[in-house]
Amino acid sequence: MDTEATDFFAATFSIEEEDHTLANALRFFLNKNPHVAFCGYSMPHPSEEIVNVRVQTTGQITATQALKAACEDLQHVCVHMRSTLDAAVMKYQREEEARERSGA
């Protein structure tokens, strides 16, 4: 993490072994936070598996707190999506078994 001198409200976080998939999702959740004044990300080079996420807050929370909150929000969405998908797959399998038993 690179922070500007004595300014914990602006920071650049380097995340290794990640790409646009994670970075764009984090950017989305960071932008939803009312305490985030700016956020964006860049990839230094397409062949490098590193993403630089820049966060600047309004001063009410630190950049680290904003990034942590975005990660937690993203995790909650992923858990919800997984449970919704699992429930839909189970429902489909039950319906298929019922159709097979009924001979349809």
- Domain that residue 51 falls in: 2-102
Q: Which of 15, 12, 29 is nearest to 63 (CA)?
A: 12
From residue 80, how far is each of 16, 36, 73, 85, 89 by CA, in Å? 26, 25, 11, 9, 14
pLDDT at 2: 52
Domain count, the chain: 1
Q: Give the global pTM.
A: 0.82
pLDDT at 104: 62
4-57 pLDDT, tens digit per residue, is: 445 699 999 999 999 999 999 999 999 999 999 999 999 999 889 999 999 999
58-89 pLDDT, tens digit per residue, is: 999 999 999 999 999 999 999 999 999 999 99
Rounded to whole angstroms, the Cα distance separating 63 from 78 reads: 23
> Are the C-beta atoms of residues 39 and 55 closer than 8 Å to each other?
yes
CATH number of the domain that 85 lies in?
3.30.1360.10
pLDDT at 1 > cutoff 90: no
